[in-house]
Structure 1
Amino acid sequence: MSRPRQGAGVQRSEPLHKQVARNIRNAIEAGVLRDGQSLPSSRELAAEWKVSPFTINEAMDLLIKEGLVVSKPRAGRIVNAPNLSPSVDGKMQISSPKALIIGGYAGSGKSELGRILARLTGWALLDKDTLTRPVVEVALELLGHPGSDRESELYLSRVRGREYEALESAMKENIQCGNSVIVTAPFIREFADGAWVNRIQADCQSVGTEAVFVWVYCDPATMHTYVRHRGAARDSVKLANWDEYIAGIDLDLRPPVDHAVIDNSATSKPLQEQAQQLVASLAAEEVAST
């Protein structure tokens, strides 16, 4: 299996309206914002994104030009994405199951990519936060820590490992049943650990499944826009010390095996287009192997 390796990302300064437009575009393509849904006013979106109404209008102009948003008299701005609605006929047919293992830093767009791929393929989506967050929060509170804690030594040493263990178990159960899966989590420690990667590959191969590793790159400015917007309590420490956080992460991190890179920075191709290219490459490999 041969997939292109993309060079390490360099921090880029992108116009704020392009960052906002990309995140709204991703939400549309991931099905979070649905076809026909009315969007909030410019003033409401400006408050939500903590930018000026002018920036929102610039972002909306981009999305209108792309055809993803239409402006109607008295109705305001409406999501226009009928071709992105999931279809039962659109499921990807393959001879053996695959496990797409998607990692990336906070705010890179992992979950959005996972949702888009699930809509394109019909494969099971296993998102770490969706599966484990409620239990992790209760566990941390019982241990005397805030449920949002993701930085302390207690979380890292006593909770995180079991959280990822549960995610891996859900993945293994699906592939043992012959189901393809899309697994999304940061996987920062895991992708830096060659032994972990080799073990996952071996686990998948033992049941006739191919492990496909995907890294989602996003420049720091675009990541900051998304993390700030989603307003999750678990991000509070990162946002309060953003420059220190960025200085402490390795933007060159990639899985130590053949992998695909998705660039979710504001100037890169739309996430939907990159997801379609990834699915097409997997389908081409499926044909070549038969």
Structure 2
Amino acid sequence: MGRRARPVLASLGPVALDRAGEEPLHRQLYRALRQAVVDGRLRPGERLPPTRALATEWGLSRNTVVTAYDTLLAEGYITGKVGAGSFVASALPDAPPQGAPGRLETRRGVGLSRRGLSLAAVGQDTRDPQGRPFSLGSPDLAAFPFALWAQLLGRSWRVGGRALAVEPDPLGHLPLRASVASYLRAVRAVRCEAEQVVIVSGAQQGLSLVAQLLLDPGDVAWVENPGWPGNRAALLGAGARLVSVPVDQEGIDVAEGMRRGADARVALVTPSHQFPLGVTMSLRRRLQLLDWAAARDAWIIEDDYDSEFRYVGPPLAALQGLDGAGRVLYVGSFSKVMFPALRLGYVVVPPDLVGAVRAVRRHFDGGTSVVPQAALHHFLADGHFASHLRAMRALYGGKRAGMLDALEREFAGLGRAEAGEAGLHVILHLPENLPDRVLSARARAIGLTVPALSDYYEDGRGGNGLMLGFAAHDGEALERAVRDLAHLATDMA
């Protein structure tokens, strides 16, 4: 059947639901009601019809209406307990209260460029500084040797003295660049010398730096779908026109990328551990991608996300190590292995780009603070980094196995857990009657941080699941959190 319109509330007016479309009906109903609240057709305090009555009038299942109401409730557009009366909220999340003491009025998008608006619209930041259970990107800080790190900081000052206080080399502290190059050659099979290594303030800055270097406004860039919002932001910040390329079990679909954007200037990929799906790019796809870049004179930005934590099989060589044409720029970070506040990462660039990177970096921010770079050099050169990484890989492997067991036990019949061969998170795939955004919002209300898988897709469709990080908490805390999450899912099912 095609589109059909039915009257709902008199104030709402006609609403069209596409019953033959790909978007679930509960999402269509949610969007229609939300828009009516935002534009004032449903007024603050107005009572919504009971879910059963609305379902009967519209010819929908009650679960469809309940799910739409739950999403509105979780996002703050309605109040009340579903089943006992639901009302339009008096203060909406998209409309901050006027005249609130001590707060500045917020005017969305005023004065922003088109590029600024695009950046502001990039997906939510799912990091959790409070470190609640399941938070993504948080290592186990209790296991890091902070006393040793403090000693190395002091040693850096004693040995380096005033030499560390002068203006830094835009490419970074040379001893650290040499240590990083040695580590990457041995562990990741990266082809590089110290001169090619650029130390940056975290991987995100590295991505932004190379995007600014390689892209002109309007240039086409491939980005993985689903993918990390920060990767999209780095490309948008350079004015790129993004082409979303689907990811399957072999990684980014290169043939589809060529079909959608054959003239792309850049492809930003995560071949070792794709985020969020956790897949590893196959050798066939890697070679296909390298051939495309060489033939089109395009660039590949390799974000080596979470490659250090691999639990199945031998370590994988980086895509950069297969590149014989000098088309790959390799980006990595120390924050996940050590601690997030370190904000030290690196970019390995082809030799003929080193001079350009130095000039751009000089004007970009001048360089990264030298003292922690000197301490990190000693941490690497003295073998502490390798020792810590081995310990963390064993620790996280045990947590990963324990959480998978807990999910299999507690979510039997409610979901399916899937873990990639590497990384620090697990995906919990959910059935259609458990919308991931609703369950994510309810989990947040009880102190759990579980981002919805669908939020990482460009159009919000293509996956229904939850992202569960396991690194930051011990086994008992994770098991309790899994039980709490399962109780929420059971109540919704």
Q: TM-score, normalising length from structure 1?
A: 0.31
- Greater percentage in helix: 1
Q: TM-score, normalising length from structure 2?
A: 0.21
> Which protein has the larger Cα radius of gyration, Structure 1 or Structure 2?
2
Higher relative contact order (CA 8 A, sep 6+): 1
